[in-house]
Structure 1
Amino acid sequence: MANYTAADIKALRERTGAGMMDVKKALDEANGDADKAMELIRIKGLKGATKREGRSTAEGLVAAAVENGVGVMVEVNCETDFVAKAAPFIDFSNKVLAVALTSGAADVESLLAADVDGKPLSELVIEAGALLGEKVAIRRIARIEGATVDAYLHKTSKDLPAQVGVLFAVDGAGEGAGVVAHDVAVHIAAMSPTFVSRDEISPETVENERRIATETAQAEGKPEAAMSKIVEGRLTGFFKEIVLVDQAFAKDAKKSVGTVLDEAGVKAVAFARFRVGA
C-alpha cells in the first residue's frame, strides 16, 4: 500500500512542476518521503537534459524590475503552461531577474555567463530544467535607463504569470513623471508600437512605404492633383500604427501619446516590450 496520499501528490507537483506519473513513481521509490522523492525527480531530470535540448519552449513568463533608474526585464521560457505557473519555475525566473539586475548584463550570453554562488547561471538553467522535467531557457533581456523608468507586467490569463512586460523610460522625475510613465507603459502593452519616434525608422523603410502608398493610390484611380496629399495621409497612418508618440493614447484617443507626454513635461527615452513566445 502506498505511503502517501493524493494530497501528497498534489503538493509535490506544486513544488516541482513535474507530471503526475513522475511524481507518483518518485514517491513510490522514496516510500512516501517527499524530500527524497523531490531529489529523485531532480536526478532523473538531469539525466534527461540532453533529450530536452531540441524541444520547443513556447510558454513561460516575463519578469521585470527597476532599481536606481535602471529597468531590467527578462523572458524565461518552458514547454508547458502547467510548468509556467508552477512555483519552482516562478522562483527560478525571479532569480534570473535578480542576477540580471546585479550583473549588469545587457544580452543573454552575458547573463548566462554571470556568476551565481561560484557557477554560471547557465548551470542553474540546466538544474531548473532537471527539477521541472522540461526544457527551460532564457530567451531575452532588456535594460533601459532614464530619470524615471516604469516596469509594467500584464497577465493575459488569471491562471498564468505575466505574459506581457514593458519597460518605459522618460527624461523627467517626480510624481507626475511616474504617473505618465506608468500610463504610457500600459498603453505600450496594449498597442505594441515598434519605435519611440519617426527618427528611429530608416529612410529606406519610409521611402518604401511611400512608394507602396503611391502605387496603391494610382491603382485605385485617385486623381493626380490629390495624389501627394493622399500619399502623405497614408504615410501618417503608417506612422500612427508603429510609432509610440504618434499613436492615439489608449486612455484618451483624442490625444496622441506625444501630446500626453508633452503635457506632463517629459519626453520618451526608450521602451522595451516582451510577449511570451512572440
Structure 2
Amino acid sequence: MAAITAAMVKDLREQSGAGMMDCKKALAECDGDMDAAFELLRKNGAAKAEKKASRIAAEGICKVVVEGNTAVVLEVNSETDFVAKNEKFQTYVEKVAKQILKSDVKSIDELLTQPWAEDSSKTVNDVHVEMVATIGEKLSLRRFEKVTSDGFVVSYTHGGGRIGVIVDMAGAESDAAKEAATNLAMQIAALNPKYVSRDEVSAEYIAHEKEILLAQIMNDPKESQKPEKVINGMIEGRVSKELKEICLLDQVYVKAEDGKQTVAKYLEEVSKATGSALSIKSFVRFETGEGLEKKNEDFAAEVAAQMNA
C-alpha cells in the first residue's frame, strides 16, 4: 500500500476543497492515486459540499426539541427558503437536534466529530456532507443552545421554524403555569427582548447609552440650551423607555386587555391563581439567519449576466 504523505493530503485538499480527514481517507482507499481519490470525494459529496462553502446560507430553520426538563434549539441554514421547507431537510435537522439533546457536546465543532446516533460508523460531519450532496445546496450547522431546568421548560416555534424559543421557568409545573409560560415564549418570539429584567443589564451598557443620548442632545440647537437638570431628566427618561422595550418583565404583555399590564404583573396574577410563585429564569431566542448577510436575488439580472457572458 502506498504511503500517504502530508503533501499528498495537502494537494488533494487544495484540488478538491474537501476536508483534510476526508482527503486522507480517500487517498488511503485509493492507494495514493490522486485522480481516483478526487473522484471518490466527488462521489461521496465531500468535494461538492466544500465547493459550496463560499455561498451565503442565510435561510433554513430553527428546530426546538424537548424531553422532560431539557430542551435544545438548533439553527441549520440553507441557501434558499425552498430547501428550508424540504421534508428531508427538516427531518435531518430534527435528528441532529435530538442527538444534541442526548449528548453533552458544547460546540458545533465537537458535535461534528461525534458518531452519528443511527450509524456509529459515520460521524455527524459525514452525514452532514451526505445531506449537502443530496440537497444540492450549502447547509450550515450554525449554532445551538441546550437548557436544562430545575423547574420546567416550555418552547415555541414560529413561522415554520423561522424563530425558535425556549423559556426556563422557576416554580411548580402545572397546565396553567405551562400555558402562561407558552404565552411568554410567544411574546419573546414577537417582541425580541434582550434581557429578562433590568438586573441583567450591565452598568457599562447603561453608561454607554447615556453617553450617546447626551451627544444627541448636545447636537440639537434647542435641546442643548436646556438646564443640566432637565437634560439629565431627559436622558433618564429615554433610557427607561429603552429598557422597557428590551427587558421582558418591563414589556407590556401582548395579551393584556387594558394594553398596559406588564409581563411582570401578568406573572404575579398567574402566580396568585396557581398558588405557586412563577418566575422566568432565562430564555433563548433564535431567529433564522439572524446577523447573516442574505443573498440579493435578482433573477432578471442573473439571466442578463449569463447572456452577456
* Correspondence for 1:124: 127
Aligned partners of 1:259 and 1:212: how far apart in 2?
31
Q: Unpaired runs of 5+ in structure 2?
A: 1-41, 272-277, 291-309
Aligned partners of 2:152 and 2:201: how far apart in 1?
24
**Given the alignment of the two structures, is residue 48 of structure 1 paired with residue 54 of structure 2, yes or no?**
no
Report how far residue 120 of structure 1 moved.
2.1
Range that drifts further, 183-192 or 164-173: 164-173
Give the match's secondary structure for 2:54. Answer: coil
Aligned partners of 2:45 and 2:129 also within 8 Å: no
Change (3 A) 1:211 1:255: same
Letter in 1 for 2:280: A
Aligned partners of 1:65 and 1:73 also within 8 Å: yes
Aligned partners of 1:46 and 1:109: how far apart in 2?
17
Choose 1 or 2 for highest CA Rg: 2
TM-score (norm 2): 0.70
Aligned partners of 1:64 and 1:102: how far apart in 2?
13
Aligned partners of 2:114 and 2:44: how far apart in 1?
26
Give the match's secondary structure for 1:255. Answer: coil
Quick one: percent identity of the two aligned structures? 35
Aligned partners of 2:60 and 2:182: how far apart in 1?
24
Aligned partners of 2:115 and 2:43: how far apart in 1?
23
What are the within-5 Å matches in structure 2 for residues 75-224 of structure 1?
75-116=75-116, 117-118=119-120, 119-146=122-149, 147-155=151-159, 161-172=160-171, 173-218=173-218, 219=220, 220=223, 221-224=225-228
Aligned partners of 1:240 and 1:234: how far apart in 2?
10
Aligned partners of 1:270 and 1:106: how far apart in 2?
19
Aligned partners of 1:129 and 1:247: how far apart in 2?
42
Aligned partners of 2:124 and 2:79: how far apart in 1?
20
Q: Unpaired runs of 5+ in structure 1?
A: 1-41, 156-160
Aligned partners of 2:230 and 2:148: how far apart in 1?
45
* Correspondence for 2:280: 268
1:21-70 deviation per Cα after TM superposition (whole angstroms, max 9, x unaligned) = xxxxxxxxxxxxxxxxxxxxx94744422311222111111110211211
Give the match's secondary structure for 1:234. Answer: helix
The number of aligned residues is: 232
Letter in 2 for 1:132: I
Give the match's secondary structure for 1:122. Answer: helix
Give the match's secondary structure for 2:208. Answer: helix
1:196-228 deviation per Cα after TM superposition (whole angstroms, max 9, x unaligned) = 122222211111112333444454144434334
Aligned partners of 2:177 and 2:226: how far apart in 1?
45
Aligned partners of 1:144 and 1:270 also within 8 Å: no
